[in-house]
Amino acid sequence: MPSTLYGNHPHSPYEGLKQFVIAIAIAAVLGVWAFATTRASSADLTEVEYESKAADLEFKREIKELSDDIHEFDVKQSAFRAQVREKLQIPNN
């Protein structure tokens, strides 16, 4: 059985070429794998966009509720101040 792919001669002119081709093939496979793992599919992007829009809507709803709560607090605070002024007989300025 030959000790190398191209015969028994360990310093065959094809030995360096063989090593180079193997290194290039390994690098190409690793490069394609790395590229594929870093890219999102269009379905992933659509899902992220949908979730982002849903989160934005929820955030806007919560801000609206907070704004309504603040307005309600301001109304109650104004009514309380009016009652205090009335009880203490403080004139409105």
What's the confidence (pLDDT) of residue 67? 93
**Choice between 9 and 61, residue whose per-residue pLDDT is larger:** 61
Answer yes or no: is pLDDT of 63 > 90: yes
The predicted model scores a pTM of: 0.47
What's the confidence (pLDDT) of residue 37? 76
- In the predicted model, what is the mean pLDDT of the chain? 83
Answer yes or no: is pLDDT of 57 > 80: yes
CA distance to 10, 25, 67, 69, per residue, from 56 (Å): 67, 46, 16, 20
Answer yes or no: is pLDDT of 4 > 60: no
Contact 6, 12 (CB under 8 A): yes
